[in-house]
Amino acid sequence: MQFRDLPILFDHGQTVVAVEAPVTERMKILEFVYQIATSREQNLYFWNQGYTQLQQVNQSIQLVRQTTKCTSGLAWLLENADVTGIFIFEGEISPDAITGAVPQYTQAILGNLFYELSTSARQQFVICLETYVELPAHLAPLIPVLAYELTSPEQLQQIVKKLFGGQFDLQDENLYRSCLGLPCGELEMALSRLSRTINSNKELVDAVLTYKKNKLKGLLVEFISSPDVPEAGGLDLLEEILERAGALLKPEAKNHNLKFPKGMILWGPPGTGKSLSAKLAAKKMGVPLVAADWSGLRGATAFESRKNLREFLKFCDANGEHGLVLYFDDFDKGFAGFDSDNDGGISRQLAGKLLTWMQERTSQVLVMATVNRLEFLPPELVRRFDDIIFVDLPHAGARYEIFKLHLAKYFPGLDFSDKDWWRLLGETRLLTPAEIALIVRKTAENSFYRNSKQFLGEKLASTSLQVTVGDFIEQRHNFTPSMIREEDKIVEIRNKAFYARPAASPDKSRWAKAPTVLFGS
């Protein structure tokens, strides 16, 4: 149920409710509940453990200290039937820091208060305000938990108009999308700090996105910008899968009862382009990409871990209204030791919550998880993904495409003769795309260093980088490829590839088979 349903619950005799909302929303909640109290000709009171006296909310939504002593919140109300009205108690049903559960003492008071108010003529209504609510099973049927809604387009327009007047286009869809995932109170606080420095819609959108990025960093979550190459090279089948997924974002897909896919696993050896593919997927679909560290979502306790995950998934749902890619890199590392109880079962709890969310969500969020060891993931979680795609070491044709992509970045227009290409592709046979990118970058750095010893200033900036195929091969021999360095692990991963769909077609390029040399070289 939503927070806006509160009047209906009160009208139907529900006397105790819990509201889950960020602390930034306190004033918005007081404002809304004050209107309810006024319509019922009742007073509204507020209290948390920072006060020693009950606070009454006036028409200006200010807290006015009462003479009534109050140091125990819910327990105080249980003993004071003569003070009538609506009471908001903040932080009263917070869980114990060690057990992660609502203390037994508080559970008993909640149960007593529910039955006392429900079976008597006391004109008292209680709202328990928390940032995260997790009631024990025996209290859940008695006390509904209301979720605080995130900012709607109408609320956004009101906030922007209040703070900035009429200087912005309130119908700007980019402005609304940038504000997705932020509740009203928090958004208004953030924008009020910027009201003197923002002069255009674009500046406002950029400022909100920057705020959101900084907010997510605490959970090791971040919005990812576009990669520095236009495609992943050699992964044609994966490209097609992503294009099909992007087509399902079109509104017309719903007319055919088609839904956006829930998720896909990109499986394969390290450095083969899995992460780059996830980043490019969002760019191709025209949607944001949010990258999360699965291990980073875990807190100091089981309760904190569940809270972090729930808040994060709620954020993704809000931002996924028009499409979102949720990217978990090295997803398998967060499930090492999953079957043991070394972490008190936290891994299993989080996996269960993610599994339920993937099954039941209606938002257009595509979960893309990259893994090296698929066997580390719980089977029941793997089944929630629509596709498992194996990203292998690139064949010769793919290596050619990858080289061309990175050469265009540092050496525009550079090409080699077929003989040189055969030599270069042969020397890089065991390399991953990441290692090919490294070779090209290191070669460019060396060439620039040579130029810097000959030219200065504008001459250095305008002089092109001159290289030969030998420069690239020299860089190739400066390190040991991961395929040789970690051969056993990578061979083990590749031997299980038949479990998944391939990311690339068989090599049908002109580089698929080296020419036969009969005499000499």
111-134 pLDDT, tens digit per residue, is 999 999 988 888 899 999 999 888
In a domain, 195, yes or no: yes
pLDDT at 59 over 70: yes
So what's the pLDDT on residue 220?
61
Same domain, 346 and 433: no
In a domain, 229, yes or no: no
pLDDT at 341 over 70: no
The C-alpha atoms of residue 218 and residue 204 are separated, in whole angstroms, by: 23
pLDDT at 518 over 60: no
pLDDT at 195 over 80: no
Percent of the chain exceeding pLDDT 90 equals 39
Q: pLDDT per residue over 130-181, tens digit each?
A: 998 889 999 999 999 998 887 777 888 888 878 777 677 767 777 777 787 7
The C-alpha atoms of residue 86 and residue 65 are separated, in whole angstroms, by: 16
Least confident of 87-96, 264-273, 344-353: 344-353
So what's the pLDDT on residue 180?
78
Q: Which of 332, 365, 390 represents a domain boundary (last residue)?
A: 390
Largest CA distance in the chain: 107
Same domain, 369 and 413: no
Same domain, 315 and 417: no
So what's the pLDDT on residue 97?
66
In 10 A of CB 39, how many CB atoms? 10
Same domain, 363 and 465: no
pLDDT at 456 over 70: no
| Averaged confidence pLDDT in the chain | 86
List the CATH number of the domain containing 492.
Answer: 1.10.8
Q: Which of 147, 169, 195 represents a domain boundary (last residue)?
A: 147
Same domain, 373 and 494: no
Same domain, 70 and 180: no
Q: pLDDT per residue over 422-451, tens digit each?
A: 999 999 998 999 999 999 999 999 988 887
So what's the pLDDT on residue 342?
64
So what's the pLDDT on residue 330?
86
Task: Name the pairing type of β-strands 221-223 and 501-502.
Answer: unpaired
Task: Name the pairing type of β-strands 124-130 and 85-90.
Answer: parallel
pLDDT at 519 over 60: no
Same domain, 38 and 119: yes
Same domain, 195 and 245: no
In a domain, 227, yes or no: no
In a domain, 129, yes or no: yes
**pTM to 2 decimal places:** 0.77
In a domain, 357, yes or no: yes
Q: Which of 390, 421, 447 represents a domain boundary (last residue)?
A: 390
Higher-confidence position of 64 and 454: 64
So what's the pLDDT on residue 88?
97
List beta partners, residue 370.
266
So what's the pLDDT on residue 146?
94
Higher-confidence position of 177 and 521: 177
Q: What is the mean pLDDT of residues 225-230?
A: 69
pLDDT at 460 over 90: no
Same domain, 191 and 302: no
In a domain, 226, yes or no: no
In a domain, 79, yes or no: yes
Same domain, 48 and 170: no
Range of the domain at 370: 236-390
DSSP 296-340: GG--SSHHHHHHHHHHHHHHHHHHGGG-EEEEETTGGGGGTTTTS
Higher-confidence position of 514 and 106: 106
List the CATH number of the domain containing 327.
Answer: 3.40.50.300
Task: Name the pairing type of β-strands 124-130 and 53-57.
Answer: unpaired
Higher-confidence position of 433 and 297: 433
Same domain, 335 and 291: yes
List the CATH number of the domain containing 15.
Answer: 3.40.50
So what's the pLDDT on residue 200?
81
Into how many domains does the chain fold? 4
Residues 69 and 40 sit within 8 Å (Cβ to Cβ)? no
Which of 13-27, 200-214, 327-341 has the highest mean predicted lDDT (pLDDT)? 13-27
Q: What is the mean pLDDT of residues 490-505?
A: 87
In a domain, 231, yes or no: no
The C-alpha atoms of residue 214 and residue 210 are separated, in whole angstroms, by: 6
So what's the pLDDT on residue 48?
95
Same domain, 184 and 277: no
